[in-house]
Structure 1
Amino acid sequence: MPTACFRGTELPNPYYLRVNSPFESLRADQAYLFRHALLRDAAYQLQLPGDRARLHALTFAAIEAICGGRAPGPLPGDYDERSFQPHPTDPFSLELADHATAVESLPALRGGSASLDDARGARRLYLGRAAEIAERSFQNDVAVKLWGVHAETVEGLEKGESLRRAAIVAFRSGRLTTAEPLFEQALDLFREGGDRRLEGAVLGSLASVYKASGRMAIAERSYGQALALHRETGNRKAEGVEMENLASLWHETGRIEQAEAYHRQAILISREAGDRRGEGIAVGNLAILLDETGRFQEAERCFESALEIHRKVGNRRMQGINLCNQASVFRRARQFEVARRKFEEALAIDREVGNRQSQGIALGNLAILCKEQARFEESERLYGQALEIHREIGSRRYEGITLGSLANLHLGLSRHGLARPLFEQAIQIDRQVGNRRFEGLHLCDLALLHLDLQEIVEARALWTEGTTILRVLGDVGQLELNSAVIRKACELAGVPCFET
């Protein structure tokens, strides 16, 4: 009977990886065909435990031999994700880990090709490679689980790194409540091991979790601590990344001059460090700031440059984000068909890579487009989907933005009773998370609602408060738009214009 017919016992089939290989649909335990799975299990169970272990060892050795030998492992202390080298064993990495686990279960081996220590090392190796492959192919749930399993097989800094990688995947796929405790565990291990470089890396990641969930004060403090550690350890690449993270936080909380200065410094540092991925992110974020402050031509050049960089380095996640930002520019220019196409491209990428937060953002922006095209039912449905995602992942900033946008839809349809509480909820969240720009926008929108209801005193006060915020932020484009809107609204209401 062929040895390849026997099934491993640890890693279930849902963990099976998608890898670009002619062998990707074949498992060694399926090479021998039985009439029924129960017959296969019965044949396996008939073997004595020692014989099973030897069969697993033989199968493990056969797969490695067919694939040209053992896959390379990471160098000690090498935690750079880019150092991963593909190998012919990759389609079988989980199966190899499974076989090594079965061999490892015996206290000693008298047959086969590997010692007990070698079996343990092989299991660690192939679990790590399987986690890496799952992460690179956006099988996010699988990757989080596998990095967690890998963490159980190692200790110290290596355990911390496995937990960090699990947390990164969870964060990128919008699972903030999963990511945070994993980052915290990794941080404790890096501090215990005295690795200041890794401590800085995980502090910056934790700060991003805090920011995404609306805890701006602790996020800013943690980014600052991470930046200090990067400078202390001479990690220029990470310094650029953290400066960009701080720039984004300052932008979102209304400190525009500080944000722009750090965006530009981050771009220079990323170029100096050869970090094209970081450069693309910083250029794209600078484009958003330029667009909001009325520098449209420079913004358009930055958007195009960022998208080109993301494509060259293969950063699919950021391609989706950047396409959504570009689509919003086309929407504001009333090039609706181009905008819709780009929003749909962005959504397709967000779903492919499992980026739930960006998927929610793109749905919300597509809803705005539908509203502007008078497709009101579709708009309301898309807002509902976006709101569900942001609440599911704990993204308070975008929950507030989406509530305000949905309120605006109701206002445009004269549903004042539905719009008012949504505006109030949105403004409350904006203030909680420090989202100054949208606080200003939502105050102005609520002012229009009061003006519709002839509540002139309340409307004027809210309008003044909202436009003051936007003026401080330098949001030239929005101020120009608001000026036209309030002139028309006041004329319809039969009252003097709030802006003179």
Structure 2
Amino acid sequence: MIAEQAYLFRHALLRDAAYQLQLPADRARLHGLAAALLEDLVASRTLDASGTNLQGEIARHLRQYREISNDNSRVEAEIRHSEQAAEQAERLYDNREALQMWLGAAEIGPPVVRARALLRAVGLALTMGLAPEAWNFAKAALAAAEAGSSAELVAAAHCAWGQCAQYSGDVETAAKALQTALELVPPECGKLRAEILGELAWLHDDQGSLELARQEYEEAIKVCRSLHDPVGEGKMLCNLATLHRLASRHELAQDLYRRSLVLFRSARARKFEGVAESGLGASVAMTDGEDEAARHEERALEIFQEVGAKSHEGIALANLSVRLNRQSEMEQRLELCSRALALQLESGNRYGTAAAMRAMADTLRRLRRLDEAGALLRDALAIHQSMKDPRNEAQTHYFLAKLLSTHDRDSANRHFEAAIACAESIHDQAVLSDVYLSLGTRHLHDDQLAEARHWLELSLDRATLAGLAERQAGARANLGEVLRREGRLQESLDSIQQALSIYEKLGYENEHASCQCGLALTLLQMGRHAEAGDCWKRGIGALRQLAEESEMERHRVEMMRLCAHLGVEPLKDA
């Protein structure tokens, strides 16, 4: 605002005192005047030099004018500016401002306007981790849509209700609401139909109904294509790619990610281009190694920084940190995690904040800063519980259990049990596989071989059911050690070699090196001393390069114990 059109105050308290001295009628007149002056400015530009969302300023002045004067003659203008301000805030990834503006429009708008604004508020609330508020907005949106007799908005409200239910782990309610939405959506509302199909596919994917999810994604893709909607089609392709990636069908996943990238670039949808680059990086890590994956993550990070998507930038930083696996890289990894957490806190994304806390806690665990790691995990757990998010609650219980296993087994057992209960409630095979693998490994370290085999076989079953290659390898590697100690040497050899093959394909250096050491012990027990020696040197040499001192020591202790039992010379490191 130029100087001739404003009072200039050197201190906010002086400004507020001057404002309070004005009579109510004068306050209302000043707010009306300010709104009119800003409307003149906004006709030529949306943002002033400081980056202020002028639409939001206009809406606030009009609100003050209405509340002080009880004059509703400018309500339509207030609604319009509130909606435009919310759209602008969403483009700038200012979720708090956007939510406030949508709720402002909903408060004073007629039923149809109210329903549309509340539906936008549902999405923002879920993004920010405000699950109870999202439920309330969805319920109010449905009532407003019904009052406005809008079939499209009624269907959209049922879809929003289903999203809230799925987010909170209420699978039955989610399925019912989404199916109702699909039945109610008018034929001419193709984009909404595609969105509902995408939500159903996501729900069925979470439940392990992968074929049904694939069919729904492909139907949604056809709808978007018929509507010439490249962004919608790209989003569905990206989701379908993620489905195949999590099922370890990486060649197909990468093709779909690349197809979505073409669409996003053609539509100049930069944020979604970054999302596709990030997903492609996660898949490439499984086939082409960490360096190539990091290149995709770096491109995603550049895009998110360019468009100002702070929450997505935080996710990209956390993903990049995961690429740093060597012990010597842990301080650098911690710095990336710290930046990721700061961005999530700044953006107000509670889901992202908890995810960043978990990533930082894992890094602190690797640095042996266990108390700090535990505190972060408990904070993350509290967030997931308040959000009614059983999937991530299960994962966080699991991480806490692993952390506590070395020094507080009773507490660890309670967290393992809670992780299993949460994971079983939503059929999360990945978390169940992880928990069973950890329990099996713990019994193995205690030399309780029958119990170890029981849990490891359960872990392998779950990982195989869900197509999770990394977890299959972990279960097979540990089963190989159990079988060796039981004297079932050929079975041990086969199991470890299968794990080695998976780790080599995935590019997991640490796990591959550890597996080499385990294979050496099986070969030694089989009497194949020369092969055992070569295998041992490769494994220990790789672990030394990776600075995995604790893992080296664990294998040396087991090797010395076996050599003493067999009456043979210890294997040489080099």
The TM-score normalised by the length of structure 2 is: 0.65
Partner of 1:123: 78
Are 1:499 and 2:492 matched, yes or no?
yes
**Partner Cα separation in structure 2 for residue 24 and residue 324 of structure 1:** 43
Are 1:455 and 2:420 matched, yes or no?
no
Equivalent positions of 1:421-436 (< 5 A) are 421-436=414-429
Are 1:69 and 2:40 matched, yes or no?
yes
Equivalent positions of 1:296-445 (< 5 A) are 296-331=290-325, 334-413=328-407, 415-445=408-438
Are 1:161 and 2:116 matched, yes or no?
yes
Question: How far did 1:409 drift?
Answer: 1.3
Question: How far did 1:72 drift?
Answer: 5.0
- Label 1:309 to 1:62 Cα distance change in 2 as closer, same or farther (>3 A): closer
Does structure 2 retain, via aligned residues, the 8 Å contact 1:231–1:239?
A: yes
Instruction: Give the aligned residue type for 2:281.
Output: A
Q: CA offsets per residue over residues 229-281 of structure 1, 9 Å max, x none?
A: 42342212111112223333454566666644433332232233332221110
**Partner Cα separation in structure 1 for residue 360 and residue 442 of structure 2:** 23
Does structure 1 retain, via aligned residues, the 8 Å contact 2:274–2:300?
A: yes
**Partner Cα separation in structure 1 for residue 296 and residue 302 of structure 2:** 10
Structure 1 gaps, min length 5? 1-20, 45-51, 74-83, 108-115
Partner of 1:175: 130
Does structure 2 retain, via aligned residues, the 8 Å contact 1:160–1:189?
A: no
Partner of 1:33: 18
Q: CA offsets per residue over residues 463-499 of structure 1, 9 Å max, x none?
A: 13323554676766666666666667888x8876783
**Partner Cα separation in structure 1 for residue 266 and residue 87 of structure 2:** 28
**Partner Cα separation in structure 2 for residue 246 and residue 182 of structure 1:** 29
Structure 2 gaps, min length 5? 1-5, 146-152, 157-183, 494-574
Q: Is the helix fraction higher in 1 or 2?
A: 2
Partner of 2:265: 271
**Partner Cα separation in structure 2 for residue 379 and residue 22 of structure 1:** 51
Instruction: Give the aligned residue type for 2:450.
Output: V
- Label 1:380 to 1:176 Cα distance change in 2 as closer, same or farther (>3 A): same
Does structure 1 retain, via aligned residues, the 8 Å contact 2:247–2:468?
A: no
Question: How far did 1:453 drift?
Answer: 4.3
**Partner Cα separation in structure 1 for residue 198 and residue 90 of structure 2:** 17
Q: 1:147 aligns with which of 80, 86, 102?
A: 102
Partner SS for 1:234: coil
RMSD: 4.2
Are 1:188 and 2:154 matched, yes or no?
yes
Question: How far did 1:126 drift?
Answer: 2.7
Percent pairwise identity: 22
Partner of 2:63: 98
Q: 2:235 aligns with which of 237, 241, 246?
A: 241
- Label 1:464 to 1:102 Cα distance change in 2 as closer, same or farther (>3 A): closer
Higher mean C-alpha displacement, 293-302 vs 192-201 = 192-201
Does structure 2 retain, via aligned residues, the 8 Å contact 1:244–1:263?
A: yes
Partner SS for 1:374: coil
Partner of 2:28: 56
Question: How far did 1:155 drift?
Answer: 4.6
Does structure 2 retain, via aligned residues, the 8 Å contact 1:411–1:419?
A: yes
Q: CA offsets per residue over residues 77-113 of structure 1, 9 Å max, x none?
A: xxxxxxx943684463243222442488348xxxxxx
Q: CA offsets per residue over residues 20-66 of structure 1, 9 Å max, x none?
A: x99899999947727xx5x65xx43xxxxxxx3x863564135523x
Q: CA offsets per residue over residues 368-419 of structure 1, 9 Å max, x none?
A: 1122221111121111111111111122221111111111112233x33332
**Partner Cα separation in structure 2 for residue 376 and residue 32 of structure 1:** 51
**Partner Cα separation in structure 1 for residue 135 and residue 209 of structure 2:** 16
Instruction: Give the aligned residue type for 2:417.
Output: E
**Partner Cα separation in structure 2 for residue 309 and residue 445 of structure 1:** 37
**Partner Cα separation in structure 1 for residue 218 and residue 127 of structure 2:** 22
Higher mean C-alpha displacement, 252-261 vs 450-459 = 252-261
**Partner Cα separation in structure 1 for residue 8 and residue 488 of structure 2:** 74
Question: How far did 1:179 drift?
Answer: 3.0
Instruction: Give the aligned residue type for 2:79.
Output: R
- Label 1:160 to 1:487 Cα distance change in 2 as closer, same or farther (>3 A): same
**Partner Cα separation in structure 2 for residue 22 and residue 460 of structure 1:** 77
Higher RCO structure, 1 or 2 (CA under 8 Å, sep 6+): 1
Partner of 1:110: none
Partner SS for 2:238: helix
Instruction: Give the aligned residue type for 1:172.
Output: T
Instruction: Give the aligned residue type for 1:33.
Output: A
Partner SS for 1:394: coil
Does structure 2 retain, via aligned residues, the 8 Å contact 1:288–1:299?
A: yes
Question: How far did 1:302 drift?
Answer: 1.3
Higher mean C-alpha displacement, 159-168 vs 138-147 = 138-147
Question: How far did 1:450 drift?
Answer: 2.6
Instruction: Give the aligned residue type for 1:457.
Output: A
Question: How far did 1:349 drift?
Answer: 0.4
Instruction: Give the aligned residue type for 1:179.
Output: A
Question: How far did 1:325 drift?
Answer: 0.8
Matched positions, count: 443
Does structure 1 retain, via aligned residues, the 8 Å contact 2:398–2:435?
A: yes
